[in-house]
Structure 1
Amino acid sequence: MYRVKQLSANTDLADFSLWLRQQGVEHRITEEGDQQVVWLANSDHAEPVLAALEQFLNRPEVREAVHETNHSPVFVNGRWQPSPRHAPAVLTIIVVAALVAWVTGLGRQSIASFFMFVDPTQFGFQSFTERLDAWTATLSQGAVWRLLTPDLLHFSWSHILFNSVMLWFLGSQVEWFDGRRRLAVIIVFVSLASNTLQYLVSGPLFGGLSGVVYGILGYCWLSQLREPRFQFPPALMVVSLIWMLIGFTPIPDMVGIGSMANEAHLGGLLSGLALAVLPPRRKQ
């Protein structure tokens, strides 16, 4: 073990020690008279640990954040692992989407048209003018739910599984840290933006939660830069952007994936970034 720091025995390092263990840093804290000594198994950890310790000792907000992380019911060994009771709204959306996927036969049953932006059996949508006319006629009939319900349509189980995993990981953090009301605002705003853009460009034959996922992704990424609170791997944004760009190429059709709702992804991402500019009203 390597001796890296000596402090007064009156300094409470319990939270800091627990946090180090959660980060996988092997260490020991011993007492020597009226002093306590921090030991590390790996000398390469000395510099970052000492820097973190200085922050912990000198900044009350850091001590509070470490304490909350250590004792939070949604973090296990420093990793974001909520249970269903911590994000009931996100879980409800996923369950409803799964039920819709089952009822509609993954979009193959005629009832799927009920969830589309406009009913493709009643309106033409080949030109932009036709799509605009169909949209205004649908709204004049009071079918406003169609602005949001394309989110619930999925056309393969892998499609809904991927969207559900991403929505659970990101959306549960928004619900926990920023509150259920903020999450609802994000989902509604992003859905309106992504679904409308996708429809106006290509018509009503689309669906999925991916627009919402991209919106929450953009919201979490920019929010994390402005006020860190989410557990968000930076590489996730890079991979998602690359995937979105691939969607605008012939590659998905060439490999058998089929066409993607590219405009929904783009509209979702941009609307999520726009909402991240607003200061959060955090629940926790």
Structure 2
Amino acid sequence: MLEIGRLPSQRAAMALTDYLKSQGISTHIEHAAQGVIIYVLNERDAAQAKREFNNFIHNPMDGKYLQASWEVGDSKTQLDYGAPGLQLLSQLITGAGPVTLITLMACVAIYIVMLFVPETIFNALSFFGASSDSHWQIWRLFTPSLLHFSLLHIAFNMLWWWYLGGRIENALGSGRLLLLLIVAGTLPNMVQFFFSGPDFGGLSGVVYGLIGYSWVMSQWAPQRGLVLQPSLMGFMLLSLVLGFSGAMGDNIANSAHLAGLLAGLLQGWLDSRRKS
């Protein structure tokens, strides 16, 4: 067998391998720590398979992949995780990595505790100046990103964090996502404080960073296996514009969102130029 590439999810891998099967190319997939590895069984098919792999990551929504799945797809290849609850749990875990899951669980745990002792948690994790005992506590540059103030707030951020962070971590590794989390979870907080003061929180600056990063990598280095549909970038940009216009209310950390997006774009550009 010869590896032709890796994709971030089993669903994407099956779409490609069904198409390769329709072209007479036999494949095998294996789950790895970072995504799904695709192999061709016959090395003489490797060159064609690699071309098709590159075509797929540039345009994964091409109708020919869906058509191939209808024609040659085999439902028996789907993994059996047992009961529906276990299936959901397995999808949650396999769609992400340790950094994604630990951050998600930390945000949820902090939100739950904050329901009972809101002032204690806010005073402990908010930005400099939001509480009287915050001086010289360096973690406050980052920890406001872990604070959420409503169910809708945390649900929106955790959904995007799991989806985008999981794809980045599966495709590029935990170290890359951790760096993005630290940078896009710190610099936007500093910018937001400069423009609006210390009373803010949420992971949305990081989410905008992940969007920017994913879009640049998708455009400039699609061979890394990180694909982002342009419509998602358009949706987030529209949300950003609406936020600055005031249409989404006054309690929106618009400066953090913009700073997070710019940080993600910059990090994506730097990583897209790396050889590995």
Bucket of the pairwise TM-score, normalised by the shorter protein = 0.5 to 0.7
Q: Which structure is larger by alpha-carbon Rg, 1 or 2?
A: 1
The amino acid across from 2:108 in the alignment is A
The amino acid across from 1:203 in the alignment is G
Relative to structure 1, the CA distance from residue 251 to residue 178 in structure 2 (aligned partners, 3 Å threshold; closer, same or farther) is same
* SS of structure 1 residue aligned to 2:186: helix
* Corresponding position: 1:112 with 2:127: no
TM-score of the two chains, using structure 2 as the length reference: 0.66
Alignment equivalent of 1:275, drawn from 264, 267, 270: 267
Q: Which has the higher contact order (CA 8 A, sep 6+)?
A: 2
> What residue number does 1:179 align with?
173
* Corresponding position: 1:94 with 2:94: no
Relative to structure 1, the CA distance from residue 232 to residue 282 in structure 2 (aligned partners, 3 Å threshold; closer, same or farther) is farther
**Retained in 1: the 8 A contact 2:188–2:205?**
yes
Structure 1: 5+ residue stretches without partners: 1-17, 31-35, 37-55, 71-75, 124-136
Superposed CA offset, 1:224-246 (max 9, x none): 10111223221000010010111
C-alpha deviation, 1:105, in angstroms: 2.0
Alignment equivalent of 2:231, drawn from 221, 235, 259: 235
- Kindly, what percent of the aligned residue pairs are identical? 30
> What residue number does 1:246 align with?
242
* SS of structure 2 residue aligned to 1:277: helix
> What residue number does 1:148 align with?
142
RMSD: 3.8
**Retained in 2: the 8 A contact 1:112–1:153?**
yes
Q: Quick one: distance in 2 between partners of 1:116 and 1:20?
A: 42
Q: Quick one: distance in 2 between partners of 1:215 and 1:67?
A: 25
Matches for 1:1-284 after TM superposition, within 5 Å:
22=15, 59=48, 61-62=50-51, 83-85=92-94, 86-105=96-115, 108-122=118-132, 138=135, 141=136, 143-228=137-222, 229-253=225-249, 258-279=250-271
Q: Quick one: distance in 2 between partners of 1:243 and 1:262?
A: 10
* SS of structure 1 residue aligned to 2:162: helix
Relative to structure 1, the CA distance from residue 105 to residue 64 in structure 2 (aligned partners, 3 Å threshold; closer, same or farther) is same
* SS of structure 2 residue aligned to 1:252: coil
- Matched residues, number: 214
Q: Quick one: distance in 2 between partners of 1:249 and 1:67?
A: 38
**Retained in 2: the 8 A contact 1:116–1:149?**
yes
The amino acid across from 1:118 in the alignment is F
Relative to structure 1, the CA distance from residue 64 to residue 231 in structure 2 (aligned partners, 3 Å threshold; closer, same or farther) is closer
Relative to structure 1, the CA distance from residue 84 to residue 200 in structure 2 (aligned partners, 3 Å threshold; closer, same or farther) is same
Superposed CA offset, 1:57-116 (max 9, x none): 85453356799999xxxxx79xxx954155121011011001111112288434312111
C-alpha deviation, 1:220, in angstroms: 0.3
